[in-house]
Amino acid sequence: MKKIFLSLLILFSLTTSAYAFGDPRIDVKYENGIYHIILKGEKIRERVKFVSSEHLITTREMHQRAGARLTLNAGFFDPKNEKTISYVITDRQTADDPLFNENLMRDPVLRQNLEKIINRTEFRVVQCDDDNSWRYEITPHNSSVDFACHIENSAQGGPLVYPDLKLEEEFFVQKKDGKVIRESASVLHKTSRTIIGLKDGDAHILIITDENPMDLYDVHELCKKLGFDRAMAFDGGSSTSMNYKNKIEVTSRGDGAGRSVKSFMLVY
C-alpha cells in the first residue's frame, strides 16, 4: 500500500511540474542569436490577440499589464505623435487606423503612395461560424475573408517576406532609374527583426536579436530554409522585443528596458 501511495505521489509531482514549467502549446528554441517560437495546435489560435496602447509603452510593461504568456511588438507607428502607421483589430473592432494619423496624410511622398501603405501585409486570426474553426492568415490588408468568417484579431506590418519579398509593392523601398532613393524600416540593412510566419497551420515567430542582425533578403532565405508557407515582418530594429512568461526577455536597447512601441501581439 505504501509503495502504491509513493508511486502516485511521484506521478502527481511529475504531472504538476510539467504543467508548472512546461508549455506544450508554445515551443521556444534559441540558436545563433534567434528565438524560434512555435504556437502549436488549434486551441491556442483562440488565445492570440493584438492590442494597441493609447500611449507608447514597452513590451515589458504591456506583458505585465496583460498577464499574457507571450508578448511581442507588432505594427509600425510614428514616434513623433505616437499614432499608428498600421491597422490593428482587437476582438473584431478596429483599434488603430493609420488614416487618422495626420503626419501620414500631410507628407506628400507618403500621401502619394498611401494606397501601397494602407494595403501592407497583415497577420490575422480568423474565426469561421460554419464549423467554428480558427485559423491564421498572412495577407494584404484589403483582401477579404471567406463567407461566414470574421477577423477576430489582426495587426498590419509588412512587408511580405516569403514566398515573395514585397519591398517596392508595399512602399518600403522606392527606386528611381533602378537606384534606391528611399528606404523605410531599415529593410536593406542588417538589424534585429520581429518576423511571423505560417507552416502547416501553425504560427512561427522569429525574434532575430542584435547578436545575429539580418536584412530582409537574409530573412527571406531563412524562412525558405525553415520551410515556411508564408511569412511577414512586424516592426523591427530597436522595436524588436519579446517577453515569455517573465523568464525570457528580448530588448534591442542598451538600457535593458527596451523601446516604447504602439501595438503588441499577446498569447494567453
Spatial neighbors of 253 by CB under 8 A, at least 6 apart, are: 238, 259
Q: What is the pLDDT of residues 167-195, one digit of tens each?
A: 999 999 999 999 999 999 999 999 999 99
pLDDT of residue 24: 79
pLDDT of residue 254: 56
DSSP character at residue 255: T
- Local structure of residue 191 (DSSP, 8 states): B
Record the pTM.
0.90
pLDDT at 220 over 50: yes
pLDDT tens figures, 10-45: 333 333 333 333 577 999 999 999 999 999 999 999
Cell of residue 238, nine digits: 530597436
What are the cell numbers at 164?
515573395
| Cβ–Cβ < 8 Å for 73, 194 | yes
- Residue for grid cell 502607421: 85
Strand (E) or helix (H) holding 116:
helix 114-118
Looking at residue 257, what is its pLDDT?
65
Of residues 6 and 229, which shows the higher confidence score?
229
